[in-house]
């Protein structure tokens, strides 16, 4: 192709490099499949996640019964419950990561761009929040506000932004030293416009990578909370609470532990691979 | 080398000067006391004129340009006066300064590598200022951008507009930044070593573009460089800076043929001459540029000066020694004697 007419921007280039990686295609495909399944299966299945069935307790996974993943101790279809678990876990992971990206980017750009005393104040706040023991805090919050699903989002999001804020601050300081920032100011743009048009786009690659790697850590954290009984309220299930339920039955009915754990592990693995592939694809040093 | 743009007649209006700098000082608080980047500098830029500023790295040239735009940052302490058409810019409101930047006074930066945002297409970067200041529509801004790319002699401007900075060569990027500065038809162009980061042949192209632009648009310019050849091609008047102060100023021919400050004389002597056989060693000014945080009380150049004597303990004032030449030096010797002192 004539290089004059191509005009391949940094985003197109990153996308091309992303697609060139086999692990990235696999991770994205598998993740897409899981997302499709967890959207479709609960809608198509005759079973729901909540209704107990006293005649179908502890059915082993089999094709003929129609209970492909078997049933649990209350006779609920494990396939539907696992798919609901995936939904909840992914939802928590994505929503909490979004919250943390929004707070982290705003906080980090402000600190890195303004610098000086503001920077000191903002980053010391982050240091203080880092030192708050998190699990006791969530327990206290749940005691105060009751077992609220939304609280899990907010609590996780409110803490995982700390890393992003630190990384974004450092990167903003690096970007600020480039002369295109000075050039934009010399062009008469005001600070908010400079941040929006020139700082944020240059941060985005890093933030995307970091957010992709935050999703699995949030999912694992939610699994931990659910495993401790602090997560989603029964009968709703997340992968963490399913693993916790399964762990109680693991001697008699190991499939109750293995299946949700396998889904949890697959999702985490795919997201980690995706994050790595994005990091490679968005790395400016690959030019 | 002399540029064709000098044929533009200087406007003889009685109104205030285009840009008048009086006693401008820029300093920063450092760990060992204040660092004076620019000290008590006077500059006058006429309508359509081109003022050259020459000096070593760290002599305050870039800080001076940033100070003119009010871009020195909150850590800088500025004093003196910068008047644009009589309007004081030091202490002007941020909104007023932002309205002038890019619109009336535009700047071209030294490094074309980092002066363009890698995530925006050339079209986006070029149209940004025009859409902001002139409220042009997207389409109008694009056609103006294409026009300017043509003006800076970039071929196939429409195709270039769709490209991104990494797809352009260094010289082309620098011409794009020049086009960017010219988008809103500014009256003053601040050029911060626009050719320093480029290959020699590309430098010549960029200089050619710059002087043809000055010819066609009549934009006045302050051209900062440490390249005497580039300055000779562009500037009419020259100010030589050393350690943040002007040590010599005047008409460029005067300074080139009869420099009256030992520093100017030394700088000119250190240029390799193409018309003479190459010496075994290139001439250089011995010593290091001074530390701006610990300047000697007297003449800052004294420690490196071949003509240093007891009077240099006191700081020399910038005095008129020829009709069009001001010098800050105690020695008061004619130019050939100063040149002799170097050899």
Residues in chain A: 287
B 170-199 residues with CB below 8 A of A?
A: 177, 180-181, 190
pLDDT of residue B6: 42
pLDDT of residue B293: 80
Cβ of B169 under 8 Å from any chain A Cβ?
no
Residues from chain B that touch A189, judged by Cβ atoms under 8 A, are: 98, 102, 128-129, 132
**In A, what residues contact B, Cβ < 8 A?**
3-11, 116, 178-180, 182-190, 193, 197-198, 201-202, 204, 284, 287
The count of CB pairs under 8 A between chains A and B is: 98
The answer to whether the beta carbons of residues B106 and B182 sit under 8 Å apart is: yes
Q: Which residue of B has its CA nearest to A191?
A: B98
* Among A224-228, A255-259, B188-192, the range of highest mean pLDDT: B188-192
Are A186 and B69 an interchain contact pair (Cβ–Cβ within 8 Å)?
Answer: yes
Query: What is this model's ipTM?
Result: 0.82
Residue to mutate among A115, A117, A186, A286, with most B CBs inside 10 A, is A186
As a whole-number percent, the residues of chain A with pLDDT over 90 amount to 29
Cβ of B217 under 8 Å from any chain A Cβ?
no
pLDDT of residue A170: 94
Identify the band that residue A64 occupies on the pLDDT scale cut at 50, 70 and 90: confident
The domain over range A32-40+69-286 is classified in CATH as 3.40.50.1000: no
* Among A42-51, A199-208, B55-64, B266-275, the range of highest mean pLDDT: A199-208
Say whether pLDDT at B10 is over 50.
no
Say whether pLDDT at B2 is over 70.
no
Residues from chain A that touch B102, judged by Cβ atoms under 8 A, are: 186-189
Q: Which residue has the higher pLDDT, A180 or B289?
A: A180
Are A8 and B167 an interchain contact pair (Cβ–Cβ within 8 Å)?
Answer: yes
Nearest alpha-carbon partner for A108 in A156, A154, A176: A176
Stretch A107-123: mean pLDDT, rounded?
A: 93
Identify the band that residue A5 occupies on the pLDDT scale cut at 50, 70 and 90: low
Q: For chain A, which residues make up each domain, given as ranges?
A: 32-40+69-286
> A193 to chain B, minimum CA–CA distance in Å?
10
Q: In sequence order, which ranges of chain B are alpha helices (DSSP H)?
A: 61-69, 94-100, 122-133, 138-151, 157-161, 170-182, 200-217, 228-234, 252-257, 262-269, 335-342
Are B180 and A179 an interchain contact pair (Cβ–Cβ within 8 Å)?
Answer: no
pLDDT of residue A285: 59
Q: Could you say which of A11, A179, A284 has the minimum Cβ distance to residue B115?
A: A179
Q: Which domains does chain B have, with CATH numbers?
A: 16-235 (3.40.50.300), 245-342 (no CATH)
Cβ of B159 under 8 Å from any chain A Cβ?
yes
pLDDT tens-digit readout, A9-27: 788 888 888 888 888 999 9
Q: What is the dihedral of CA B62, B63, B68, B70, to 10 degrees?
A: 120
pLDDT tens-digit readout, B31-88: 888 888 899 999 999 999 999 999 887 778 888 999 999 888 788 899 999 999 999 9
Q: Which residue has the higher pLDDT, A134 or B21?
A: B21
Q: Could you say which of A116, A186, A188 has the minimum Cβ distance to residue B132?
A: A188
pLDDT tens-digit readout, B219-245: 999 999 888 888 988 899 999 999 989
As a whole-number percent, the residues of chain B with pLDDT over 90 amount to 43
Identify the band that residue B9 occupies on the pLDDT scale cut at 50, 70 and 90: very low
pLDDT of residue B5: 43
Half-sphere exposure of B301 (CA within 13 A, CB side): 29
Q: Which residue of A has its CA nearest to B168?
A: A4
> B230 to chain A, minimum CA–CA distance in Å?
22
Identify the band that residue A286 occupies on the pLDDT scale cut at 50, 70 and 90: low
Helix (H, G, I), strand (E, B) or coil at B184: coil
Burial of B113 (0-12, 13-18, 19+ CB in 10 A): middle
> B65 to chain A, minimum CA–CA distance in Å?
10
Q: Could you say which of B103, B109, B156 has the minimum Cβ distance to residue A183?
A: B109
Q: Could you say which of A183, A190, A202 has the minimum Cβ distance to residue B119?
A: A202
Stretch A149-177: mean pLDDT, rounded?
A: 85
Helix (H, G, I), strand (E, B) or coil at B315: coil
Identify the band that residue B3 occupies on the pLDDT scale cut at 50, 70 and 90: very low
Say whether pLDDT at A100 is over 80.
yes
Identify the band that residue A7 occupies on the pLDDT scale cut at 50, 70 and 90: low
pLDDT tens-digit readout, B94-129: 899 999 999 999 999 888 888 899 888 999 999 998
Residues from chain B that touch A208, judged by Cβ atoms under 8 A, are: none
The answer to whether the beta carbons of residues A231 and A222 sit under 8 Å apart is: yes
Q: Could you say which of A7, A186, A197 has the minimum Cβ distance to residue B107?
A: A186
Residues from chain B that touch A186, judged by Cβ atoms under 8 A, are: 69, 71, 101-102, 106-107, 109, 181, 190
pLDDT tens-digit readout, B127-183: 998 899 999 999 999 999 999 999 998 989 998 998 888 888 888 999 999 999 999
pLDDT of residue B14: 57
CB-based contacts of B11: which residues, under 8 Å, 6+ apart?
Answer: B46, B47, B48
Say whether pLDDT at A265 is over 70.
yes
Q: Which residue has the higher pLDDT, A11 or A62?
A: A11
pLDDT tens-digit readout, B249-281: 999 999 999 999 999 999 888 887 777 777 777
Say whether pLDDT at A49 is over 90.
no
Stretch A265-285: mean pLDDT, rounded?
A: 86
pLDDT of residue A3: 47
> A278 to chain B, minimum CA–CA distance in Å?
17
Say whether pLDDT at B1 is over 70.
no
Q: Could you say which of A116, A187, A193 has the minimum Cβ distance to residue B101?
A: A187
Residues in chain B: 343
Lowest mean pLDDT segment, chosen from A85-94, A121-130, A229-238, B45-54: A229-238
The answer to whether the beta carbons of residues B244 and B253 sit under 8 Å apart is: no
CA separation for the pair A174, A194 (Å, rounded): 15
The answer to whether the beta carbons of residues A90 and A35 sit under 8 Å apart is: yes
Q: Could you say which of A11, A116, A188 has the minimum Cβ distance to residue B98?
A: A188
Residues from chain A that touch B118, judged by Cβ atoms under 8 A, are: 10, 202, 284
Identify the band that residue A164 occupies on the pLDDT scale cut at 50, 70 and 90: very high
Cβ of B117 under 8 Å from any chain A Cβ?
yes
Identify the band that residue A42 occupies on the pLDDT scale cut at 50, 70 and 90: confident
Residues from chain A that touch B98, judged by Cβ atoms under 8 A, are: 188-190
> A124 to chain B, minimum CA–CA distance in Å?
21
Q: Which long-range contacts (CB under 8 A, 24 or more apart) does B84-90 make?
A: B84/B18, B84/B19, B84/B188, B85/B15, B85/B16, B85/B17, B85/B18, B86/B15, B86/B16, B86/B17, B90/B24
Are A179 and B166 an interchain contact pair (Cβ–Cβ within 8 Å)?
Answer: no
Say whether pLDDT at B314 is over 80.
yes
């Amino acid at each position: 192709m004539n290089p004059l007419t191509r005009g391949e921007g940094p985003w197109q280039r990153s996308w091309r490099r992303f697609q060139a990686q086999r692990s990235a295609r696999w991770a994205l495909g598998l993740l897409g499949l899981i997302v499709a399944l967890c959207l479709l299966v609960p809608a198509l299945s005759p079973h729901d996640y909540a209704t107990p069935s006293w005649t179908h307790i502890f059915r082993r996974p089999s094709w003929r019964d129609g209970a492909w993943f078997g049933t649990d101790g209350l006779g609920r279809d494990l396939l539907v419950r696992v798919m609901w678990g995936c939904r909840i876990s992914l939802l928590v992971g994505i929503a909490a990561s979004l919250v943390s990206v929004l707070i982290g980017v705003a906080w980090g750009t402000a600190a890195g761009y303004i610098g000086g005393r503001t920077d000191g104040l903002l980053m010391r706040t982050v240091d203080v929040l880092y030192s708050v023991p998190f699990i006791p805090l969530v327990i206290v919050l749940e005691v105060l506000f009751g077992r609220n699903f939304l609280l899990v989002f907010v609590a996780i999001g409110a803490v995982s932004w700390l890393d992003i804020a630190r990384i974004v601050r450092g990167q903003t300081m690096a970007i600020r030293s480039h002369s295109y920032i000075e050039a934009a100011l010399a062009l008469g743009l005001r600070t908010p416009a400079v941040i929006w048009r020139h700082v944020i786009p240059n941060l985005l690659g890093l933030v995307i990578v970091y957010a992709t790697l935050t999703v699995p850590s949030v999912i694992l954290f939610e699994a931990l909370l659910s495993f401790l009984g602090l997560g989603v309220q029964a009968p709703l299930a997340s992968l963490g609470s399913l693993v916790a339920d399964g762990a109680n039955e693991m001697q008699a009915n190991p499939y109750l532990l293995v299946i949700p754990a396998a889904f949890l592990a697959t999702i985490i693995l795919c997201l980690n691979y995706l994050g790595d592939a994005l990091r490679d694809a968005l790395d400016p040093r690959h030019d | 080398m002399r540029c064709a743009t000098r044929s533009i007649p200087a406007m003889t209006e009685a109104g205030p000067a285009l840009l008048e700098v009086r006693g401008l000082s820029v300093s920063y608080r450092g760990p060992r006391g204040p660092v004076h980047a620019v000290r008590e500098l006077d500059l006058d830029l006429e309508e359509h004129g081109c003022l050259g500023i020459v000096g070593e790295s760290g002599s305050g040239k870039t800080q001076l340009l940033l100070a003119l735009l009010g871009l020195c940052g909150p850590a800088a302490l500025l004093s003196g006066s910068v008047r644009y058409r009589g309007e004081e810019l030091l202490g002007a409101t941020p909104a007023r300064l932002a309205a002038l930047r890019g619109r009336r006074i535009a700047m071209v930066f030294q490094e074309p590598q980092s002066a363009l945002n890698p995530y925006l297409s050339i079209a986006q970067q070029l149209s940004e200022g025009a859409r902001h200041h002139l409220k042009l529509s997207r389409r109008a801004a694009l056609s103006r951008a294409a026009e300017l790319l043509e003006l800076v002699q970039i071929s196939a401007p429409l195709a270039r507009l769709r490209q991104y900075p990494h797809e352009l060569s260094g010289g082309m990027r620098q011409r794009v930044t020049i086009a960017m500065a010219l988008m809103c038809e500014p009256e003053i162009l601040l050029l911060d070593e626009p050719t320093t980061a480029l290959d020699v042949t590309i430098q010549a192209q960029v200089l050619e573009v710059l002087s043809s632009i000055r010819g066609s648009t009549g934009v006045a310019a302050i051209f900062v460089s440490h390249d005497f050849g580039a300055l000779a091609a562009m500037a009419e008047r020259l100010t030589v800076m050393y350690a943040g102060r002007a040590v010599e100023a005047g008409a460029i021919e005067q300074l080139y043929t009869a420099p009256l400050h030992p520093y100017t004389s030394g700088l000119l002597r250190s240029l390799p001459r193409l018309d003479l056989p190459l010496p075994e060693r290139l001439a250089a000014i011995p010593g290091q540029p001074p530390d701006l945080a610990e300047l000697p009380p007297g003449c800052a150049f004294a420690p490196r000066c071949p003509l240093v004597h007891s009077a240099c303990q006191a700081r020399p004032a910038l005095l008129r020694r020829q009709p069009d030449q001001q010098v800050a030096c105690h020695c008061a010797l004619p130019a050939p004697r100063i040149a002799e002192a170097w050899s």
